Amino acid sequence: MRICWICDTAYQLLNCINYVVSNKLDDSIVDLYIGRQFFKAEEIERKIKKENIFHMVVAYKPLRNEKGILGTIRKVCGVIWPKYRLSRMLIDDIQLIPDKYDAVFMSVPTYFPISIVFQANADNVFYFDDGSGSYTGDVSAFSLKTRIIYFILGHSLKRLKPKALYLNDVSFCRSTMNCKKLQLPRIGKENSDVVKLFSRIFEYKNDDYYLKHRIIYLMWPNDNDDKMKENIDEKILSILKDADRNVLLRPHPRQTDIDRFGMGIDNHCDMWELVCADQITDNHVLIGFFSTAQMIPKIMYNCEPTLILLYYLYPTLFSSQRKMELDYLAEKIKSVYSCPEKIIIPKNFVELESIIVSITADEEN
């Protein structure tokens, strides 16, 4: 049997390696395709190759969003001839792709995995944990327009119908994907060989840095230079600055100019999923808009830090529908927490300030 995994985030890679190593797929040829679009992707790719986990490790780059007539022509050609699209994305030789895969594992059906499925005549498609998006809705669903376009151009997207969805915490899942929901192997101290492997690949230092700070602000970048988001971020940081000695800022890899806030900053760049394994405790407070990072301690390690979810403070960035989905997910988190009151959703800045004051007062007492 020949299978492949397609990953374009470090989190996806961690889940992929965990599954492949833990299940000891000795009777299968396993390939890995890595999208070079995340922090230190090339360096991590080299380390994975050294570990000899996969039959081959192949790199690809994301396509630019091309517009105009030429862009449309290229998109159409990419649908009709998957090999053409793959040749534009692959950094390595197109000839490395086999004629047949028995199974393809992906997190999200983007251009590259769709093309692999069609080019390699994949028999089965499996999805695996990509964070919060995998736990609600249906990431495998395509719009009617997309389905019609592919059908007219000679390919049925029914081929990408998932056989199963692999998750780090099946009990937490409310995905509407029409397939089996299966548990990924647990990562923890009892799985020490896998943890050591992750430490080598992702250069995890494990220096107890996070144990010195109780409140962690998981920042997210302002990719679209949204002025309102920038102003809201500034208000949040001004509130946190009053609790400076307790707070550690964890910037997103795409964020720069963080030093100007004059607060403690994590510049270690350790992989968050590994930090959570042995440095994040039930006593920590994780602040963020409502990110996958905030969910990792619970879904991967059954750890229950306090979560402060800020999505109501960004009124224009989330649609009413999206807020309803997040409300639902927040209720689900509460239902699996032993102390539901540790999930806190401030509706305004006054509430946020009161919450932070209360938490820091508890720390001092």
Provide the pLDDT for residue 297. Answer: 93
Do 213 and 179 fall into the same domain?
no
Does 190 lie in the same domain as 79?
yes
Query: Within this chain, do residues 56 and 178 fall inside the same structural domain, yes or no?
Result: yes
* CA distances in angstroms from 244 to 95, 247, 280, 300, listed in the order given: 55, 5, 19, 29
Site of tokens 């997309």? 146
Are residue 126 and residue 216 in the same domain, yes or no? no
- pLDDT recorded at residue 156: 93
Cα(173)–Cα(192) distance, rounded to whole angstroms? 26
**Statement to judge: residues 192 and 225 lie in one domain:** no
> Where does a domain end: 187, 202, 217?
202
Q: What pLDDT score does 261 carry? A: 60
CB 176 within 8 A of CB 140: no
Clarify whether residues 109 and 168 are in a common domain.
yes
Question: The whole model's pTM is what?
Answer: 0.86
Beta partners for residue 7, in sequence order? 34
- pLDDT category at 64 given cuts 50, 70, 90 is confident
Q: Is the pLDDT of residue 191 over 80?
A: no
Among residues 184, 202, 220, the one where a domain terminates is 202
Q: Band of the pLDDT at 39, cuts 50, 70, 90?
A: confident
pLDDT given at position 258? 56
Give per-residue pLDDT as tens, 95-137.
889 999 999 999 999 999 999 999 999 999 999 999 888 988 8
Residues 129 and 33 in one domain: yes
Tokens of 14: 């961690």
Interval 10-39 mean pLDDT: 92
Q: Are residues 197 and 214 in the same domain?
A: no
Does residue 14 register a pLDDT over 90?
yes
* Structure confidence by residue, pLDDT tens digits, 326-342: 888 899 889 889 999 99
Tell me the CATH number at 254: 3.40.50
- Tokens at 229, concatenated: 């988001």
For residue 198, give the H/E element and its range.
helix 192-202
Instruction: Choose among 30, 34, 43, 29: nearest CA to 11.
Output: 34
Band of residue 53 on the pLDDT scale cut at 50, 70, 90: very high
pLDDT at 167: 95
Length of the chain: 365
pLDDT in tens, 237-267: 888 887 666 788 888 765 555 555 667 788 7
In a shared domain, residues 244 and 342:
yes
Q: For the chain, how many helices (H) and strands (E)?
A: 12, 14
- Weakest mean pLDDT among 146-150, 240-244, 311-315: 240-244
Q: Are residues 193 and 248 in the same domain?
A: no
Tokens 């144990």 identify what position? 211
Of 156, 177, 202, at which residue does a domain stop? 202
91 has pLDDT over 90: yes
Distance CA 70, CA 187 (A): 46
Name the domain count of the chain.
Answer: 2
Residues 223 and 307 in one domain: yes
pLDDT at residue 204 in the model: 85
- The answer on pLDDT for 201 being more than 90 is yes
Q: Is residue 147 located within the same domain as residue 57?
A: yes
> If you average pLDDT over residues 164-172, what whole number do you get?
91
Domain that holds residue 178: 2-202
Query: What pLDDT, on a 0 to 100 scale, did the predictor assign at position 65?
Result: 78
